[in-house]
Amino acid sequence: MQKSFSILGAVVLLAVLATGCANTEKKLGRGVNNIYEPFRLAEMRRSIEQGALANPEDVNYHPGVIRGFNRTVARAGIGIYEIITAPFPPYDPVFTDYLKPNPEYPDSYKPGIFEDSIFATDTSIGFSSGAVAPFIPGSRFHVFD
């Protein structure tokens, strides 16, 4: 009898922590989005671009690379933290004085929706917007743009 109450308590606790919280879903989604930063490299590209635009006469890109690397590591660390602490409050973004809650992309590139039959219903007749490799992070090649 004692064993069944402890299992029931664990199941109830898991159900309370894992279901029905919109804030938990947002925090977990933000964490997963941030943890992909080392693969996406949006902060790296933005830092290099902004460094080059701030000093156009200087061809030294090293400060932008170092700043981008720092921001990439920080964003991945924040993602790990948000994934681990997703079930627990507070649910607001953390470290917003250094990084924005969502990834920063370069001004020369803004990502859009994946080119897929889920979003482009005209693919059933043979047309779509023509993204060649939408599953590759940073892919900017489009046939019809």
User: pLDDT tens digits for 2-51?
Assistant: 666 677 777 766 666 665 567 888 999 999 999 999 998 889 999 988 88
pTM of the model: 0.65
The pLDDT of 101-114, averaged and rounded, is 78
| Backbone angles phi and psi of 118, in degrees to 5 | -70, -40
Residue 126 has pLDDT above 60, yes or no: no
Question: Amino acid identity, residue 61?
Answer: Y
Alpha helices in the chain (DSSP H): 2-18, 22-35, 37-40, 42-54, 62-84
Q: How confident is the model over 79-101, as a mean pLDDT?
A: 89
Domain span at residue 75?
Answer: 20-107
Domain identity same for 85 and 134: no
CA gyration radius for the chain?
Answer: 21
Has residue 121 been placed in a domain?
Answer: yes
The count of domains in the chain is 2
Q: How far apart are CA 121 and CA 40, in angstroms?
A: 27
The per-residue pLDDT for 8 is: 76
Higher-confidence residue of 137 and 92: namely 92
